[in-house]
Amino acid sequence: MPKKISKIGVLTSGGDAPGMNAAIRAVVRTGIYFGMEVYGVMRGYAGLLEGDIFKMESKSVANIIQRGGTMLKTARCKEFFTKEGRQQGYENLKKHGIEGLIVIGGDGSFRGAQIFSSEYDIACIGLPGTIDKDIAGTDFTIGFDTAVNTAVEAIDKVRDTADSHDRLFIIEVMGRDSGYIALHSGIATGAENILIPEKKTDVEEVIRAMKEKHRRKKLVNIIVVAEGDEFGANELSTLIRENIPNQEVRVCILGHIQRGGSPTCLDRLIASRMGYSAVECLLEGRYNVFVGIQNNRMHYIPLDKAVKKKQSVSDEWMKIVKILSS
């Protein structure tokens, strides 16, 4: 690895997440402060292969900290996971003299960075940008807090309609492999049940609970389902209609609304802190790690340890859900 890095690149890869712009801003301005040249790579690894790379100045990141999405755009790039693709990406970086690369994305993006850095003399640093909070080794990921707050706001509005019509609403939130958005938003909105991939769904118990609430004339109910749960929102609604014919059931799938919007204060803060720390890593000669936060302290985890982790959810959380929804 190079002893002293003077030129760095930054890209965003995979799914977009609110706060990515704050992280880009922090990387650019921290790099410039320490005398580095900073280059933006458009559309993630796809732009790296195409050579869509441009020099950034402090003014390049003016007025973006409050914006959702990513100014550098993002894409998924299968070609980067081929030897030939990575060779092309390396050659494009060397044309600009870039020695370090900061990758903002999820575990797939980190895997690409780890392979890339092991083959070529490019120091890579990862920043966890994913709304799912499914990266092992960090208490926070960029975008999670905003996504949860977006879900909470939407569920609160749905409950107003549920209350007006005495309906059961099944609301599906994002989380293909992780139920944290469902868990946090469900508890915060008083959901009667929360279904997540980390816990096996006892659908008969869900129906029993709904029957009991129907018997007690508790007709306004909210069930929050993570998209990765074994029972999707539509399948669950069919089962409930079959077993409780008199219960009005509606399904609401929040979808990509959870990805967008202005990032919360927390997401802006952790993205800024992580972006600063990423540049600091390169200055200190700490390479091929991703930056995480544990117990409010910065942690640096090797990229080859950055795996998508289906973390265990405490039974206490599910007990809280059951007690508070009774």
- pLDDT at residue 219, as a whole number: 66
Buried b (16+ CB within 10 A) or exposed e, 144-170: bbbbbbbbbebbeebbeebeeeebbbb
The CA–CA distances, whole Å, from 233 to 122, 162, 246, 261, 269 equal 45, 16, 19, 24, 34
For the stretch 183-195, pLDDT in tens is 999 999 999 899 9
Separation of alpha carbons 95 and 72, rounded Å: 20
Given 16, 107, 132, 134, the catalytic residue:
132
Within 3-66, strands assigned E span: 7-12, 37-41, 53-56
Across the chain, mean pLDDT equals 91
As a whole number, mean pLDDT of residues 39-43 equals 98
- pLDDT at residue 274, as a whole number: 98
Domains, the chain: 7-143+263-305 (3.40.50.450), 145-259 (3.40.50.460)
121: annotated active-site residue: no
For the stretch 123-162, pLDDT in tens is 999 999 999 998 888 899 999 999 999 999 999 999 998 8
- pLDDT at residue 136, as a whole number: 83
The pLDDT > 70 percentage for the chain reads 97
- pLDDT at residue 264, as a whole number: 98
The CA–CA distances, whole Å, from 237 to 7, 35, 136, 218, 265 equal 54, 58, 33, 17, 36
- Please list the residues that pair with 302 across neighbouring strands: 289
As a whole number, mean pLDDT of residues 97-120 equals 94
- pLDDT at residue 128, as a whole number: 95
Q: Are 202 and 245 in contact (CB under 8 A)?
A: no
As a whole number, mean pLDDT of residues 272-278 equals 98
- pLDDT reading at 101 higher than 90: yes
Separation of alpha carbons 225 and 240, rounded Å: 14
Separation of alpha carbons 44 and 234, rounded Å: 34
- pLDDT reading at 1 higher than 60: no
- pLDDT at residue 203, as a whole number: 86
Q: Residue 3 — pLDDT band, cuts 50, 70, 90?
A: low
Separation of alpha carbons 283 and 264, rounded Å: 29
Q: pTM to 2 decimals?
A: 0.92
